[in-house]
Amino acid sequence: MAEAVATACETKEFAGLLALRSSSPAVERLEFVFAFILRHAYRIGMAISGQEPLLKPSAKPPMEKGPRGRMKRLMLDTAIRLMQQGGSPSVSEVAEAAQVSRATAYRYFPSQAAMIQAAVDDALGPVLDWTTVERDAEKRVADLFGFAYHRMQAFEATHRAALLLALDQWQRRQAGTLGDEPRVVRGNRKGLLKAAVEPLAAEIGRPATDRVTQALSLLFGIEAIIILKDIWGLSAKEAEDVASWAAKALIKTAVEEAGEEPAPEAPREKKDQKKPRKKGAQA
C-alpha cells in the first residue's frame, strides 16, 4: 500500500488537485488523498483510451506485479501509443502524456533509447519466444515468417520509430555528438533466424547456413516492410507473401547449390617410377 501511495503522489494530477484543496479541513483532505489513490491505482490498470490493441493484451510479455509493474505498464503503453501515432517521443513527453512526473518516468527509463528498446521488445511480445515443432528448415522459416510478420506489421509505427532513433544515433555518432547516450540495440532477428535454419547445417554445412541466415535477415524486419510497402506500394498481406516467397526460394537455391558442388577428387596414386639402370646391371 505504501508503494501505491508513493506512486500516486508522484503524479502531476495529484499535485495540482492537492493545491486546490489546501484550504480544506484536514479530514476532508485525508479523504481526498485516499480516494485519489484508489482511483489512480484503478486507472493505471486499465487500457489507455483510444489504444485498441491490434492483438490480444494477453500476448504481452509478463511484467512486474504490484504498483511498480502497473506504472511500468502505463509508461510502456503510453510510449507505444505515441509511437503508433507516428512519433518518436522522449521520456519527458511520455511522462506528460501518462500524467506522471518526469522524475518518476526517468526512474523507470533513464533514457529515450532504454524506453524505446523496452517498447520494441514489448511490441514484439511472443515473437521473441517463437518455437516450432517443424524439423525441415524451409517449413521452419515459413512458420517464423507467418508468425512474426503479422505482429511486426501490427506495431509497424513502433518499429519505424526505433529504426529512426537508431539512424539518428548513427549520424550523431559519426559526427561525434552522441556522447554517452545508450545505443539502441537492434538484432532480435539474428537469434530467431539462426534457430529457424539450424537443420540446414547438417545438409549444406555451417558456412553456407550462416550465409543463408544473413541473406534471410534482409527479408525479415522493419526494413523489408518499409521497402515493400513504401517503395513498391504493397499491402501488408502482399508484403508478407513476397518476403515469404523470397525466403523459400533462397533456401531452395542454397540446397541446390550445395548438391551441385563437385565431390572432392580422391588423391591420385603415384605411379612407380623406374629407376635408371646402372651400366653392367642385370635385367
Q: What is the pLDDT of residue 185?
A: 85
Residue 5: its pLDDT value, please?
A: 46
Report in angstroms the alpha-carbon separations of 176 from 74, 90, 172, 186: 35, 21, 6, 21
Could you state, in order of their start, the residue ranges of all structural domains in the chain?
A: 2-111, 124-259
Residue 201: per-residue pLDDT: 96
**Range name among 7-21, 94-108, 113-127, 252-266 with the lowest pLDDT average:** 7-21
pLDDT at residue 4, rounded to an integer? 46
pLDDT in tens, 257-270: 998 765 445 455 55
What phi and psi values does residue 182 have, to the nearest 5 degrees?
-60, 140
Lowest mean pLDDT among 27-41, 46-60, 222-236, 244-258: 46-60
pLDDT at 87: 85
pLDDT at 188: 92
Question: Which pTM does this prediction carry?
Answer: 0.68
The pLDDT value recorded for residue 27 is 41
Neighbours of 232 (CB within 10 A): 10
What are the cell numbers at 70? 502497473
pLDDT of residue 63: 61
Q: How far is CA 259 from the centre of its chain?
A: 35
Question: H helices within 176-235, ranges in order?
Answer: 188-197, 201-204, 206-216, 222-226
Q: Which three cell numbers stand for residue 18?
A: 492537492
User: Which one is predicted more confidently, 261 or 128?
Assistant: 128
Q: Report the alpha-carbon distance of residue 132 to residue 127 in Å, rounded.
A: 12
